[in-house]
């Protein structure tokens, strides 16, 4: 009799049934008696100050409780660090209702509190504002001459500046027989998850310093981040706040930082001593962070034989006037390709916009989209197949850091992806493949994303009924966290999946960092594995103390946990049931809290990254310029795959997003007003079912015992980073036109 192994199996999502039946509750769906509702009023100008704000008409409505503005808001923390969060860039974070100053269009300037949502919304329409308007700047291109280096500091450690130049790019490029230079532009994009941002604060009266306790249901990618922000801003002891977020209806990075509805709901609940709910509208979802508009220049030089000798990659991105938001945009070419002469540069321009925010594969998809199009252009100029060109310029080391990769099966990604796609049938000549009036294009690109790990804590409890409960204050933003953590725990303690429950999204649980950057499987997964291993040791010690224990003179290394039992490796008949162990503990549950830590001494000697090879087919209507992505094959090397089903969904989601980024997504700003004009899902286009055709995912076997104890690398970003470039390169192959501005809309092709 052997134990079922769950890691590596395509287990269905354990939270799936609750989601499709409506049992899963999101932040806006929690109710409590006598709940008040808040509606936010946003500015209509991009820069200036409020001369007068009139709230009398709103307050005159029966059922309107209060209108908060900068004139009557309660006293709040004044120093910058109180407003910092786990994802805050250098600078002074935005403070809602701080003063009369308007810093960007649609800035929140008032909060109407009423007995119902409908009443609050109507009352908000009666609030009138008189502004003193000032000239604003929202156009990156028009202000790129003001580009500067970002500020440095503790907040930028996770996004370090580009390294110093290597070799002599200018001389090597000038001497290169093959040269390409191009400027690449992409517009602002907004996250637009299905679930709008909402916070429900349930107030409970008390005699403590805070005057009560607060249970906060927040739309967030990290409850620990929300409680850190709320406690500091409002000077409330951590013990008096509990933040809960069991389900998140999509985030894509928008929930990494606390958004202003959390501030508004907490402020109102604290001041009014009432429970308050604040839900943002779809239009208001365009009033906070976004992927920044970015202008990039890429220049590549190569020998006549196609060996890359020079690489230049610079980026200029937008940020707000109050924080220096940056991304790692330009480093990836220096990591993927071996030229000895490399210059990389990243600068920012302060504009009258809100601070940009990490958006799925921040910086990575931006930089790789430009880089891999330039590499494709260089391969074409050299007369070498794009796959062969990349193999010719392949490196097993990270030239940028001068370190070996902990593992890198990118060659196999190229081989398996090309074979599955049928790449050898490609005619390299642009406009050479067609189906009637449709031009057919085949393109490919490389993807890379860092495999990171942070510290996290987890608790494991063997309950009195012999079942296992594991918990950590992480999040599940649709990635399958509930499921894979249950699989890890079940395998580690040798228990059937149905006897294991994993809980998350609650600050009463052991702390975990925000879920983003493809690090949750490695970070929280390591904590879950660690705590289950520590609990196993504790259970073994209890088993040794039992009367007539078969383990009295046995060491821990001589036993195995299997089929809800501890048994001797050499003799499976010598065993003790876990239920018997917990029974012998006086009927009390056995619990353990542990911390999972990255092995920095081991990891710092290597670059740790996931890799991919993406192959795309497009058809382009020769008369209309419309583009359809008919096929994509993505071959991914990302270490150990914990669950092929949820993993495949992650890559598919990235591929769909890549279609949207390549062809559709663009937040259009009218610089006359400094305001995003297409602030709805009717006008902000994302990929829908009709845009998605044949998507194929290959997971390339990759063993890595350096990256973390589980050998996983994370999948949230690697599925996206290479897709837009592969599509853009396919469009070039189909049409002969090199489009360097995303999205590739039909007007750019006609």
Percent of the chain with pLDDT strictly greater than 70: 99
> How do residues 228-283 score in pLDDT, each as one tens digit?
999 999 999 999 999 999 999 999 999 999 999 999 999 999 999 999 999 999 99
pTM above 0.95, yes or no: yes
> How do residues 659-682 score in pLDDT, each as one tens digit?
999 999 999 999 999 999 999 999
> How do residues 477-486 score in pLDDT, each as one tens digit?
999 999 999 9
1 has pLDDT over 50: no
Average pLDDT over residues 129-156: 90
pLDDT, residue 160, reads: 85
pLDDT band of 3, cuts 50, 70, 90: low
SS3 491: helix
pLDDT, residue 613, reads: 99
pLDDT band of 156, cuts 50, 70, 90: low
154 has pLDDT over 70: no
pLDDT, residue 655, reads: 98
> In terms of DSSP H, where are the helices of 243-363?
260-272, 332-336
The beta-strand segments (E) located in 381-499 are 397-398, 403-404, 434-435, 438-450, 456-462, 468-472
SS3 469: strand
Query: CA 367, CA 363: separation in Å to the nearest integer?
Result: 6
155 has pLDDT over 80: no
Domains located in the chain, CATH noted: 16-22+454-597 (3.30.365.10), 31-135+193-281 (3.90.1170.50), 142-190+290-452+604-749 (3.30.365.10)
Catalytic residue among 377, 450, 459, 717: 717
Residue 309's closest CA among 172, 166, 164? 172
CA 720: distance to chain centroid? 11
Average pLDDT over residues 300-312: 98
Q: Tell me the longest C-alpha to C-alpha distance in the chain.
A: 85
**How many Cβ atoms from other residues are within 10 Å of residue 143's Cβ?**
15
Angle between helices 520-545 and 481-492 (to 10 degrees): 30
pLDDT band of 2, cuts 50, 70, 90: low
487 phi, psi to nearest 5 deg = -60, -45
Based on the residue annotation, tell me whether 717 is a catalytic residue of this protein: yes
Query: CA 354, CA 704: separation in Å to the nearest integer?
Result: 40
Average pLDDT over residues 325-342: 97
For all residues of the chain together, what is the average pLDDT?
96
The DSSP line for 608-649 is -EEEEEEEEEEEEETTT--EEEEEEEEEEE-B--S-HHHHHH
Residue 697's closest CA among 722, 679, 672? 722
């Amino acid at each position: 009799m052997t134990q079922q192994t769950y890691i590596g199996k395509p287990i269905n999502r354990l939270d799936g049934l609750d989601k499709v039946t409506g049992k899963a509750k999101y932040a806006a769906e929690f109710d409590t008696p006598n709940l008040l509702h808040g509606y936010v009023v946003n500015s209509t100008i991009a820069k200036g100050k409020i001369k007068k704000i009139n709230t009398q008409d709103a307050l005159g409505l029966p059922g309107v409780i209060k209108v908060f503005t900068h004139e009557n808001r309660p006293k709040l923390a004044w120093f910058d660090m109180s407003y910092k969060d786990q994802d805050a860039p250098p600078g002074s974070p935005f403070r809602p209702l701080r003063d009369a100053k308007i810093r960007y269009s649609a800035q929140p300037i008032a909060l109407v509190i009423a007995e119902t949502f409908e009443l609050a919304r109507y009352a908000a329409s009666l609030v009138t504002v008189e502004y003193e308007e000032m000239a604003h700047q929202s156009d990156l291109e028009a202000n790129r001459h003001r580009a500067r280096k970002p500020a440095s500091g503790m907040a930028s450690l996770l996004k370090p500046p580009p390294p110093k130049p290597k070799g002599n790019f200018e001389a090597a490029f000038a001497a290169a027989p093959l040269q390409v230079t191009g400027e690449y532009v992409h517009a602002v994009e907004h996250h637009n998850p299905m679930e709008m941002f909402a916070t429900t604060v349930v107030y409970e009266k008390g005699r403590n310093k805070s005057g009560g306790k607060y249970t906060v249901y927040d739309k967030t990618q990290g409850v620990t981040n929300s409680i850190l922000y709320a406690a500091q801003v409002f000077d409330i002891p951590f013990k008096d706040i509990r933040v809960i977020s069991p389900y998140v209806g999509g985030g894509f990075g928008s929930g990494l930082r606390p958004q202003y509805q959390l501030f508004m709901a907490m402020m109102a609940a604290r001041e009014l001593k009432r429970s308050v709910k604040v839900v943002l509208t779809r239009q208001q979802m365009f009033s906070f962070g976004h992927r920044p508009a970015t202008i990039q220049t890429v220049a590549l030089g190569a020998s006549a034989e196609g060996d890359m000798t020079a690489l230049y990659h610079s980026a200029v991105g937008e940020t707000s006037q109050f924080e220096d938001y940056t991304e790692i945009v330009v480093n990836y070419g220096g990591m993927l390709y071996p030229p000895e002469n490399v210059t990389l540069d990243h600068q920012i321009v302060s504009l009258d916009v809100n601070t940009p925010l990490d958006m799925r594969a921040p910086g990575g998809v931006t930089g790789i989209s430009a880089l891999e199009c330039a590499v494709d252009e260089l391969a074409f100029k050299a007369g070498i197949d794009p796959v062969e060109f990349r193999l010719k310029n392949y490196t097993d080391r990270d030239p940028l850091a001068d370190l070996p990769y902990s593992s890198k099966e990118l060659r196999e990604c190229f081989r398996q992806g090309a074979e599955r796609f049928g790449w050898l049938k490609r005619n390299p000549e642009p406009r050479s493949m067609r189906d009637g009036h449709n031009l057919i294009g085949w393109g490919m690109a490389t993807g890379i994303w860092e495999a990171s790990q942070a510290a996290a804590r987890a608790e494991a409890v063997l309950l009195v009924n012999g079942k296992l409960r594991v918990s950590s204050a992480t999040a599940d933003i649709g990635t399958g966290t509930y499921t894979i953590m249950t699989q890890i725990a079940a395998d580690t303690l040798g228990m059937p999946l149905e006897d294991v429950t994993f809980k998350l999204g609650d600050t009463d649980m052991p702390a975990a960092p925000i879920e983003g950057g493809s690090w949750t499987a490695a970070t929280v997964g390591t904590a879950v594995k660690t705590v289950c291993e520590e609990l196993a040791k504790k259970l073994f010690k209890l088993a040794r103390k039992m009367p007539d224990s078969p383990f009295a003179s046995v060491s821990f290394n001589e036993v195995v946990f299997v089929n809800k039992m501890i048994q001797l490796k050499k003799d499976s008949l010598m065993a003790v049931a876990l239920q018997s162990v917990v029974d012998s503990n006086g009927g009390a549950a056995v619990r353990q809290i542990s911390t999972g830590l990255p092995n920095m001494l081991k990891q710092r000697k290597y670059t740790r990254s996931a890799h991919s090879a993406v192959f795309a087919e497009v058809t382009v209507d020769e008369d209309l310029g419309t583009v359809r992505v008919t096929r994509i094959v993505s071959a991914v090397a990302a270490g150990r795959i914990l669950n092929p089903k949820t993993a495949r969904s992650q890559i598919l989601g990235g591929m769909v997003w890549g279609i949207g980024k390549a062809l559709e997504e663009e937040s259009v700003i009218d610089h006359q007003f400094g305001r995003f004009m297409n602030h709805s899902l009717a006008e902000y286009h994302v990929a829908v079912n009709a845009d998605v055709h044949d998507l194929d995912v290959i997971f390339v076997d990759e063993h890595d015992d350096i990256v973390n104890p589980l050998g996983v690398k994370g999948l949230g970003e690697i599925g996206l980073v290479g897709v837009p470039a592969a599509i853009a390169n396919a469009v070039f192959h189909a049409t002969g036109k090199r489009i360097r501005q995303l999205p590739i809309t039909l007007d750019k092709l006609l």
